[in-house]
Amino acid sequence: MLLRVAKLQLIVAVLIWFGVIAPAAAQWDTKTIEGRDYVAVDGMKSFYGFDTVARSGNDVILENKKVKMRLHVGAQECLMNGVKFVFSYKVEEIGGKAWVSRIDLSKLIDPVLRPSYIDNAGNFRTVILDAGHGGKDPGATNALSTEATYNLQVAERVQKLLESRGYKVVMTRDSNRYLTLQERVDVANNVKDNAIFISIHHNSGGSAARGIETFTLSPIGVAHYGRGLNQSDYQERAGNSHDSANVALATAVHGCMSRRLGTNTFDRGIKRARFSVLTGVQHPSILVECGFMTHPYEARLIHTEAYRTAVVSAIGEAVERYRKAVSMKPVTKE
């Protein structure tokens, strides 16, 4: 039972990006709401080639053969092929129409639906793995182990997996030692080849909190998750040059992990943050939280070989899927 993977479902459902067909010209209906730009959800139908847009209560469902997207008026969440994304702003309703913020459309929906439009993103063979915490900083702790230990165990196994597939892997740490956040950023930025950066963590919170979540750098003008907007959120950071690649990479890792863990996890979604490693690293970057060490049941799962194998396989698979998705050439529709 544990971690049984429905193979077919995995292949079919994980990130079936339909980035091969350029969108038809669309008429975007736009509106300013509370000083922010919004676009009507209806316009996404022809632009992204959805067959149907259906409304059911507050749900708006856009669908074609490959993608099912569900938005909820008044909420800040969106599901694409079952993967949860946390929007920067709520979906609004005015004049009987649903509206999404332009920033969520351009910085989230678009790169997820059209990863092949991200310039030059597929041209990498180096993966930088950052096992969070270490040394005098154990991270989260419970009766079974420390976060620093789990993070390194996952990173070392992902390293082996990726190296066996021909990737070059750079580790920010390969032993139980302490590094500052800046030192991690420096290790990553010393890599001059095209690369991607994956920071591996396990979570802590109240005893009821559980599940996986993946963070990408907040675009300019978007706050750190759960925090109000600061003046500094309007400054461009190094990581913002890869906004589109960041979210495409997060989609791959989060989607693969969510499906490999199946009923043994809960999808908390892909979120925006301003963690130091995300702001400072000059390669496409994500930070993934692989489960809660403070949840009584999940803590025991995290300690199992089966759970770790699922997490490691998911990250390995996601790197391949991401590279493939961003490497496809867009084809213009006749």
Binding site for Zn ion (CB under 5 A): 132, 139, 201
Query: Distance between CA 113 and CA 67 in Å, rounded?
Result: 9
Cα separation values, 229 from 58, 74, 225, 272, Å: 27, 19, 10, 12
Please state the closest distance from residue 149 (CB atom) to Zn ion, in A: 12
Q: How many CB atoms lie within 10 A of CB 320?
A: 14
* Residue number with CB closer to Zn ion (78 or 257): 257
* Residue number with CB closer to Zn ion (71 or 315): 315
Residues contacting residue 185 through CB under 8 Å, at least 6 positions apart: 276, 277, 280, 281
Cα separation values, 151 from 49, 132, 235, Å: 40, 6, 31
Here the tokens at position 173 are 């740490």
Please state the closest distance from residue 287 (CB atom) to Zn ion, in A: 8
Dihedrals phi, psi of 32, to nearest 5 degrees: -100, 125
* Residue number with CB closer to Zn ion (115 or 139): 139
* Residue number with CB closer to Zn ion (81 or 214): 214
Please state the closest distance from residue 202 (CB atom) to Zn ion, in A: 6
Cα separation values, 46 from 41, 174, 177, Å: 10, 49, 52
Burial track 208-237 (b if 16+ CB lie within 10 A, e otherwise)? eebbbbbbbbbbeebebbeeeeeeebeeeb
Please state the closest distance from residue 256 (CB atom) to Zn ion, in A: 20
Please state the closest distance from residue 76 (CB atom) to Zn ion, in A: 24
* Residue number with CB closer to Zn ion (290 or 312): 290
Give the residue at shortest CB distance from Zn ion: 201
Please state the closest distance from residue 111 (CB atom) to Zn ion, in A: 26
Query: Distance between CA 294 and CA 284 in Å, rounded?
Result: 30
* Residue number with CB closer to Zn ion (60 or 140): 140
